[in-house]
Chain A
Amino acid sequence: MDTKRKLEILADAAKYDASCASSGAARKDSTGSKGVGSTGGSGICHSYTPDGRCVSLLKVLMTNACLYDCHYCINRRSSNVTRARFTPEEVVKLTLDFYKRNYIEGLFLSSGIIRSADYTMELVIEVARKLREEHQFRGYIHLKTIPEASQALIALAGRYADRISINVELPSQQSLDTLAPEKNLARTEEAMGHIREKIDERHAEKRGPDTPKPAPFATGQSTQMLVGADASTDAVILGCADKLYTVHRLRRVYYSAFSPIPEPSAILPLKAPPLIREHRLYQADWLLRFYDFKVEEIASAAEPNLDLALDPKLSWALRNRERFPVDVNRAPREMLLRIPGLGVRNVERIVSARRFTRLRLADLLQLRLQLKKLMPFIITVDHHPARMGLDSDSLRARFLPPPEQIELDFEAPPKPAASDFSSVRSGEL
Chain B
Amino acid sequence: MRTIVIEPDYEAWRNSARRLLAEGVPPDEVLWSEDAQEASLFTGEDPHVEPVTGNPIKVPPAFLDMARSAAAHTDTRRWGMLYRVLWRLTLGGERHLLSMATDGDVREIQNWCKAVGRDIHKMHAFVRFRLVGVNADTGREQFVAWFEPDYRIVRLSASFFRKRFAGMDWSILTNYECAHWDGMQIHFTAGVPRGSAPNQDALDDLWRTYYQNIFNPARVKISAMQSEMPKKYWKNLPEAPLIAGLIAQSAGRVKGMLETPERPAKSAPKNEYLKMLHDMNRSEPPENKKPPQP
Contact = CB atoms under 8 A, between A and B. Distances in A.
Interface of A: 3-4, 7-9, 11-12, 14-16, 29-38, 44-55, 58-59, 67, 69, 71, 77-80, 94, 97-98, 100-103, 115-117, 136, 139, 148, 171-175, 177, 181-182, 184-187, 232-233, 235-236, 238-240, 243, 257, 259-267, 269-270, 273, 275, 295-296, 299-301, 304, 349, 352-353, 355-357, 359, 363-364, 366-367, 415-416, 418, 421-422, 424-425, 428-429
B101 A11 contact: no
A130 B255 CA distance: 42
Contacts of B101: 349, 352-353, 366-367
Given A30-B167, A236-B292, A15 B221 contact: no
Nearest to A177: B289
B257 A264 contact: yes
A184 B217 CA distance: 30
Interface stretch (B2-10, B16-24, B72-80, B205-213): B205-213
Given A12-B213, A366-B107, A172 B292 contact: yes
A409 B9 CA distance: 55
26 contacts: A4-B209, A11-B210, A44-B124, A44-B125, A48-B225, A50-B246, A51-B220, A52-B228, A54-B228, A67-B268, A67-B274, A78-B266, A98-B210, A101-B143, A177-B289, A184-B280, A260-B257, A265-B262, A266-B265, A273-B218, A349-B102, A356-B99, A366-B103, A367-B107, A415-B258, A416-B258
Contacts of B130: 101
Interface in B45-78: none
A56 B163 CA distance: 18
A4 B206 contact: yes
B231 to A, nearest CB: 12
Contacts of A418: 251, 254-255, 258
Interface in B232-254: 237, 239, 243, 246-247, 250-251, 254
A173 B213 contact: no
A139 B167 CA distance: 13
B102 A366 contact: yes
Interface residues of B, number: 88
A177 B265 CA distance: 13
B221 A78 contact: no
Contacts of B243: 50
A50 B215 contact: yes
Contact of A48 (B207, B229, B254, B292): B229
A171 B291 contact: yes
Interface in B148-173: 160, 162-168
B206 A7 contact: yes
Given A33-B167, A35-B167, A418-B251, A236 B291 contact: yes
B265 A71 contact: yes
A182 B281 contact: yes
A262 to B, nearest CB: 5
Nearest to B108: A366
A337 to B, nearest CB: 17
B294 interface: yes
Nearest to B201: A101
B99 A355 contact: yes
B291 A49 contact: no
Interface in B113-139: 121, 124-131
Nearest to B252: A418
A349 B106 CA distance: 12
Nearest to B124: A44
Contacts of B223: 52, 428
Given A101-B203, A418-B258, A185 B288 contact: yes
Nearest to B126: A46
Contact of A171 (B219, B255, B266, B292): B292
A30 B165 contact: yes
Contacts of A425: 220-221
A174 to B, nearest CB: 6
Nearest to A98: B207
Given A48-B229, A78-B266, A366-B102, A262 B294 contact: no
A58 B210 CA distance: 8
B6 to A, nearest CB: 29
A25 B24 CA distance: 47
B272 interface: yes
Contacts of B219: 51-52, 257, 259, 273, 275, 424
Contact of A102 (B127, B206, B216, B254): B127
B290 A263 contact: no
Given A266-B265, A270-B258, A49 B280 contact: no
B284 to A, nearest CB: 6
A409 to B, nearest CB: 17
Contacts of A238: 294
B190 interface: no
Nearest to A419: B251
A302 B289 CA distance: 23
B99 A53 contact: no
A94 B257 CA distance: 30
A148 B277 contact: yes
Given A186-B288, A418-B255, A103 B207 contact: yes
Contacts of A299: 294
A259 B49 CA distance: 67
Nearest to A235: B294
B106 to A, nearest CB: 9
B273 to A, nearest CB: 4
A174 B143 CA distance: 54
Given A80-B263, A102-B128, A264-B260, A36 B166 contact: yes
A49 B218 contact: no
Contacts of B292: 171-172, 236, 239-240, 243
B100 A353 contact: yes
B214 interface: yes
A413 B237 CA distance: 41
B41 interface: no
Contacts of B211: 47, 49, 55
A205 to B, nearest CB: 26
B102 A67 contact: no
Given A184-B281, A184-B284, A349-B102, A421 B260 contact: no
A86 to B, nearest CB: 13
Contacts of B272: 116
